[in-house]
Structure 1
Amino acid sequence: MHIGILTLTFFMPGCGSLKEKRQRMGGLHQRFGRNPAVAVCESGERDRLDTSEWSFVVAAKSQREAESLCSEIEDKLQRTVDGRVSDVSREFL
């Protein structure tokens, strides 16, 4: 079993409230939480209006599969979130 931890920080200029911030992030729990190999949570910057940090924990049979799934998640987030990715970190256990 291989575990990957993908953490992304998003910058959302012009975000005026926590409610707007949640709407702009667009239901990441619902989209990625359906996959039994992925756990997702808002891991930081919860009280800042213009920044949001999310972590994804991926479980896979091989490190290559874990890396592939992390890449898929990152690519999808880059296209769908109403904000700019300002930092990405990956760790594999």
Structure 2
Amino acid sequence: MHIGILTLHISLPGCQSLKEKRQRMGGLHERFGRNPAVAVCESGELDRLEASEWTFVAVATSIPRVEALLAEIEEKIQRTVDGRVMEATREIL
């Protein structure tokens, strides 16, 4: 088994409330948590309105599959979240 960790730092310019922050992040738990090979959590910037940090852990039997899962997550977030990915870090264990 191989494990990959993707951490995304997302800027949410103009965000005025925690409620708006949750709406703009668009239910990442529900979207990515359905996949049994992926775990997701909001891992930082919990109290900042204009920023959010999310970590995704993917598990698969091969490194290329782990990398594909993480790439798919990052691409989908860049397309669907009302914010801008400022930094993305990946680690394969």
- Specify the TM-score bucket, using the shorter chain as the normaliser: over 0.9
Q: Quote the offset at 1:66 in angstroms.
A: 0.2
Indicate the residue corresponding to 2:21 in structure 1.
21
- 1:6-85 paired onto structure 2 within 5 Å: 6-85=6-85
Structure 1 CA distance for aligned equivalents of residues 2 and 74 of structure 2: 18
Identical columns (%): 71
Q: TM-score, normalised by structure 1?
A: 0.99
Paired with 1:65 and 1:42, the residues of 2 have a C-alpha distance of 23
| Residue 38 of structure 1, CA deviation | 0.2
Structure 2 residue identity aligned to 1:47: D
Q: Which residue number in structure 2 is paired with residue 92 of structure 1?
A: 92
TM-score with structure 2 setting the length: 0.99
Does the residue aligned with 2:8 lie in a helix, a strand or coil?
strand
Number of aligned pairs? Answer: 93
Unaligned runs of 5+ in 1: none
What SS does the aligned partner of 2:34 have? coil
Query: How far is 1:46 from its partner?
Result: 0.3
Runs of 4+ in 1 over 6 A off after TM superposition: none
- Unaligned stretches of 5+ in structure 2? none
For 1:31 and 1:12, how far apart are their aligned partners in 2?
A: 19
